[in-house]
Amino acid sequence: MDGTGLSLLLFPQRWDGCRLSASLLVLPRGDPLHASLWAEGAAFAGAPLALRLELQSGGDVFTPGAAGNLSVDFTLPGAPRAVELFNALHAQFLPTPPPSNPQALSRWREQRRARWAALAAMRQARPDTDLAVPGRSRAGGGTSKRSSPVLSTADLSHRLIRSASDPKTASEHQLSWGEVLSHAMRQPALSRALGLVIDIDTDFTGWDVAGRLSQGGWLQVTPAAPRPHPAPGHAVRIPPLGSAARPLFAAVLFRADAAGAPPRPHPWRTEAEAYSDGFARAVHSREFRPLGASLPQPPPPGVHPGLAIGWDDEQVLVWVQRQIDALCSPDACPGLSGVAGYRVDVREAGSGHTGWRSLCGVRGTVSVGDWHSEFIGESRIDVAPLLAGHGDEAFAYLPDHFAVWRGGSLVAGRLSAWSAQPWPPGQPLPELRPGSDWELRVRLVDLSGGGPQVTDQPVAHTAP
């Protein structure tokens, strides 16, 4: 985020009836080995952080420093091997820092924003059969400068074929530190060893967290010491909590400046409440059909053509559009999207409320320099914009489905360095065969890599 040397984003994970656990995402801007966090501070790598956690009970908006808010200062020690690991990442990827000259840095940012602004509004491809359903919304994440944000798959296929013969200009891409960190954040053990993700809880002495959050509330983490030019902080909305344990999820984070100006709650507040358990609301699937195919091609006997899976299409489109809007006009963005990806679960039809198995389990080794870590857990599915066309005809779009399941894993292929892992462990990967019946659901993953577990159930009823 522009205008700050350090971004502190809190993602609630779980409520056990008396204690709230969360993951704190700590993102430095620029070179973590040399760029100062603040004018008088040290670089990020390995540095301890003096932070303040503030809790507000209830309220439609978060007001920093309001009467009745509880706050506590605490210090997080620096990650012991952070300097070593950041040096190893630098040696491996040679990230290029942004220009140090203020004028050159300003031009660099404007060029970056202009590339996205030229694409206008995000669009989404949808099958003609979907668009023909009476009452089906054609709304998207904004109003395009050139056309409706919804494309039929036939129109998209025509555009891609037409642009296939257009000349393409290849250019060498230099990685930035931000891109290196975004890859490191996909590896849970590495992100924690670098100090990017820190697990904390709110079981602080003297805090009645259960009583304070019985009607919902807000949490925010900021630097403990006032800064000469404080950057806007981001607060997370907590739903009303009772005695029952439940998963927690922050689909959006709300921005509040140092003076306590309230963020605009609508429609962000509605989204925060709707996705506070971390489950997608509307999952759909159909037999997979390649783009441009007018008729399904029969697979070999005994082989299923695959299931094309989508979920919450219009909401996902809005979230992706907001990320682009934040790149183009960061000062006008009232908050951040907290969703980084998704995990798909399946179970045999009619098996009741149990039996869910994740299609995103992986196992493998993470190696950075002399540091190694074995990982067994879940990866995620990304939903990112695709680019089509060239020049003035270029546009960004989302496909009409976000994953294709042909049995087995959705995140580890035969040639992948990572192996598919049954999740929960000890069960075989499900196989998709003609005549087999499966139910699907989708769990959201936040920017820290957290989210509901495969054993969790939605708090609000959601039909698979």
Q: Are strands 20-28 and 6-15 parallel, antiparallel or unpaired?
A: antiparallel
385 half-sphere exposure, CB direction, 13 A CA radius = 23
Residues 250 and 459: their CA atoms lie apart, in Å, by 14
How many other C-beta atoms lie within 10 A of the C-beta of residue 266?
Answer: 9
CB 266 within 8 A of CB 287: no
pLDDT at 382: 93
379 within 8 A of 360, measured Cβ to Cβ:
yes
Distance between CA atoms of 185 and 188, rounded to whole angstroms? Answer: 7
Domain range summary for the chain, segments of one domain joined by +: 1-96+176-265, 119-173+277-464
Q: What is the pLDDT of residue 87?
A: 96
**Dmax over Cα atoms in the chain, in whole Å?**
70
Which position has the token pair 């399946």? 346
CA nearest 348: which of 437, 457, 443, 442?
437
* 108 phi, psi to nearest 5 deg: -60, -45
Instruction: Give the bridge partners for 23, in sequence order.
Output: 11, 199
pTM of the model: 0.88
Give pLDDT, residue 203: 66
pLDDT at 233: 81
Distance CA 237, CA 240 (A): 10
How much of the chain is helix, strand and coil, in % rounded to 5? Answer: 20, 30, 50
Averaged pLDDT in 10-residue chunks for the chain of 464 residues: 74 93 92 79 88 91 88 92 96 83 78 74 70 47 45 69 51 80 93 95 76 92 75 86 94 72 66 94 87 63 82 90 79 83 92 83 93 94 84 80 92 84 89 87 96 92 59
Bond into 267 cis (ω within 30): yes
| Chain centroid, CA 301 distance in Å | 39
